[in-house]
Amino acid sequence: MKILVTGHKGFIGAIIYSNFRKKYQEVDGIDAGDQIPDKKYDYIIHLGARTLIRLSKDKPYEYFQDNLDLSMRILELARKHDSIVVYPTSGSESEATNPYSLAKKQVVEWIELYHNLYGLRRHVLKFYNIYGPTSRKGAVYLFCNAALKGEPVTVYGDGNHVRDFIHVNDVSRCIDLILDGKVQEGHHEIGTGKGTSVNGLIEIVENATGVKLEVAHREYILPEAEALYAKKPLLKETIPIEDGVKEVLEELKKERSGSL
């Protein structure tokens, strides 16, 4: 099986690229600025994109280039060689209030057009909040890091908004099931199916560290949905957020001890 992973140097892409290179014979990886190989792949796992919603407000054209424009070139490669596309969209794309979410939403529309016009085979994955020990952004990392350093954390809104936090290893498991042919083509939710409020996540971190976090509340920079979590997750059993937080904390402690 021949596989192309875009965004293979990013947090999620690096995990998937590493895991699949151990299992499959031919796995190529490209990242921002790399030339797209004109080769036939059985699967193209298209993870390459800018991902920070709040930054997209200040760089709308860059988010168009690295999300929508790049995705169109990947779709043309897939159409030419009859590759199956695995594409991650976002839980936020249903309410496209920013350039990031709009680009994600439009890519999905183009994928469906290619599916209907050209028979493109696709797996559209609605990603929720992905975290893991090597991530250096997102609420889980920020709160864990702040607890270990004794620093305050910023919460936008009142902290009651609910999100679905899924471990990156569970995401890799989902894509592995697809490559093994165990998942029917179509759209899939990649989450735990369990909603955790931001305040609830803070409590989990506090319980794991024994540290009371100082919280500074700010107004939303952009409108955000009150609740985003998977209704029909692809995986029925996932890593509990409490266990994942402990893993992130252990990795951060190792880094701190190694830098002392």
- Report domain extents, the chain: 1-127, 129-166+193-260
Interval 163-180: pLDDT, tens: 999 999 999 999 999 999
Domains 1-127 and 129-166+193-260 fall in the same CATH topology? no
Chain segment 186-220, per-residue pLDDT in tens: 999 999 999 999 999 999 999 999 999 999 999 98
d(CA 46, CA 233): 20
In whole angstroms, give the CA distance from residue 34 to residue 108: 23
* 30-50 per-position pLDDT tens digit: 997 899 999 999 999 999 877
- In this prediction, residue 245 carries a pLDDT of 98
Task: Specify the amino acid at residue 174.
Answer: C
Q: What is the mean pLDDT of residues 82-90?
A: 94
CATH number 3.40.50.720 is the correct assignment for the domain at 1-127? yes
Which stretches within 50-138 are classed as H helix? 53-56, 60-63, 70-81, 99-118
User: Which class would CATH give 129-166+193-260?
Assistant: alpha beta
Beta pairing class for 129-131 and 165-167: parallel
